[in-house]
Structure 1
Amino acid sequence: MNRITNFILSPTRLVKHLVLYTLHLLYKFSICNCFHLIGIKLGAHVAIKGTYISRNVTIDKHTKLFQSSVIGNTYVGESCEIIDSEVHGKIHINDSSQILSSKLCGTINIGKESLINGANINGDFTCKEHLRIFGPQVNISGNVDIGRYSSISGPNFDIFSRINKVKIGSFCSIARNVSFQEYSHYTNKLSTYFINQHLFGQSIDKDINSKGDIVVENDVWIGAHSVILSGAHISTGAIIAANSVVNCYVPPYSIVGGSPAKIIRYRFDTDVIDTLLRLEWWNWSKEEIHKHKDIFNLDFSKPDNINILKSTFPV
């Protein structure tokens, strides 16, 4: 009874509870832009509904946040959408990006005009502009870097990285049910079981090893149900056939398949491959790509088209 009396008679506590309740209503119904009072900065025409926002968050203009939570030192750029998602950690989401039905947790930088749909991303993740992730059931963890205009398709896409890095270049196409496994069990110890983690209460780091980074260069197509293991290096222009296991170096513009993957054939003759590698078109600006859009529809199995390529881009 005394506690109730003390609360009722304490003006300071009463005011504090009223302020907190008022702020809760502001969050819930987005009545007005008073968020800067508690360390939140909102740009003009920001729409918020059913979303919790913590301190040290900046939301740029024309952005929508619906049924989500944004917690941590986070910046959300102009004209973004965060819907049915959780954004927790040190997050930077660049302009015109969409985060839909996803969870971002860690130190994460999303390039402009990207779409993350149905993904769970946890760790140190960076992607450049116009990444496309189509879930559901896309799981990415660890130290991962993805270039611009690459596309990842679910369901059941995984990247598991803990010791070394997974780096995927630009304009890559990765099909459903693909796994990147950067670490594995020890084979030269008494047991392959994660005994340090499960029995001794120690870090899993004592139970796993890695053969190095996984590197996927540019314009690579990885077919469905493939597995990419630690130490793999897939060069520019390569194609990984469906149901392959890759654990080694894959040359530029080769087609590989099998378990372990072996070279089936090369996509082009050596002179065409050399010309394409010199072009480095994947580094061109969007405007430059549009300027030379005709070459992307040439059939290089025909000698005349090879000559067109060489005359357009002489050595």
Structure 2
Amino acid sequence: MKLILILKKIRDYWYKYVVWRKYKIGKNFHCGRGVFLWARDDITIGNDFYIGKYSIIETNCIIGNGVIFANYVGVVGKYDHCYEEIGMPVRLATSIRDREYQWKGMSETTVIGDDVWIGFGAIILSGVNVSDGCIIAAGALVTNDTEPYSIYAGMPARKVKDRFNTEEEKLKHIRAIKERYI
């Protein structure tokens, strides 16, 4: 068991400092197998981030502290291919990975706040702001910004309820989280 933990730490180190060295990744980073990160410009990840196996980030993204992605989560671009290119099938049209790409989505950044949990198979589209403390249910498709400390589910994702039962509980939680990351 100890050997497995050591191997995981080595793998995390390899990805953080070798494979994804051009991105900013905080302390206590862990990624499951089959994870893929790519951004045209930048990915910035805070401390205590866990990304489950076969998850993908494929857009400019800023992720806060204390965030967890379950398995098969996707953070993907809305405009990865120039589908309005006249006379060109979408498959052959310029894409955001091409240097000459000058279409929509160039400046979009997805922002995922602190203390967020993204459930199994959820998809977050580029340019969306997932606010602090949110929980995104398994299989949800997040197409719009969220409210802080709320739970979202569905396709497209809609607010289901507040994360905490009272304002007092929420404020107590926020103070504790802020103390942890100061």
Q: TM-score, length-normalised on structure 2?
A: 0.77
Q: Pick from 155, 172, 186: which aligns with 2:67? A: 172
Counting only pairs closer than 5 Å after superposition, residues 32-111 of structure 1 correspond to structure 2 as 98-100=9-11, 104=15, 110=17
User: Among residues 38, 52, 67, which one is paired with 1:141 in the alignment?
Assistant: 38
CA distance 1:188–1:196, change in 2 (3 Å) = closer
Q: Provide the residue aligned with 1:195 in structure 2.
A: 92
SS of residue paired to 1:264: strand
Q: Which of 121, 125, 132 lines up with 1:225 in the alignment?
A: 121
Q: Distance in 2 between matches of 1:234 and 1:242?
A: 15
2:134 aligned residue = 238
Q: Which runs of 5+ in 2 are unaligned?
A: 1-5
Output the aligned Cα RMSD. 3.1
CA distance in 1, matches of 2:76, 2:128: 10
Corresponding position: 1:276 with 2:173: yes
1:124 corresponds to 2:22: yes
Q: Which structure: greater strand fraction? A: 1
Structure 1 residues 207 and 134 mapped into 2: Cα distance closer, same or farther (>3 Å)?
same
2:146 aligned with 1:247: no
- Aligned AA (1:98): K
Q: Number of matched residues?
A: 170
Contact 2:83 2:90 survives alignment (8 Å): no
The one-letter amino acid paired with 2:129 is H
Q: For the residues of structure 2 that align with 1:134 and 1:233, how far apart are their CA atoms?
A: 24
Alpha-carbon distance between aligned partners in 2 of 1:280 and 1:124, rounded to the nearest angstrom: 32
CA distance in 2, matches of 1:180, 1:244: 12
Once the 2 structures are TM-superposed, how far is the Cα of residue 267 of structure 1 from its aligned partner? 1.4
Q: Look up the equivalent residue of 1:152 and give its one-letter code.
A: I
The 2-side partners of 1:173 and 1:258 are apart by 19
Q: Name which structure has the greater RCO, CA cutoff 8 Å, separation 6+.
A: 2
User: 2: distance between equivalents of 1:240 and 1:248?
Assistant: 12
Preserved CA contact (<8 Å) 1:211 1:230:
no
Give the distance between the partners of 2:179 and 2:91, measured in 1 at CA: 42
2:58 corresponding residue in structure 1? 160
Partner of 1:209: 105
What is the rounded CA distance, in whole Å, between the counterparts of 1:189 and 1:122 in structure 2?
Answer: 32
Check the 8 A contact 2:82/2:93 in 1, yes or no: no
> 2:49 matched to 1:150?
yes
- Over residues 198-228 of structure 1, what are the superposed CA-to-partner deviations in whole Å (9 max), with x where a residue is unaligned? 9xxx746246635721011111110001111
Aligned equivalent of 2:3: none
Deviations 1:127-155 (A, max 9, x none): 111111121x111112211111111110x
Counterpart of 2:133, as a letter, is G
Deviation at 1:232, TM superposition (A): 1.0
Specify the alignment match of 1:260 in structure 2: 156
TM-score, normalising length: structure 1 = 0.47
Confirm or deny: 8 A CA contact 1:170 1:217 kept in the other structure.
yes
**Cα distance in 2 between the residues matched to 1:221 and 1:214:** 15
1:272–1:211 Cα change, 3 Å: farther
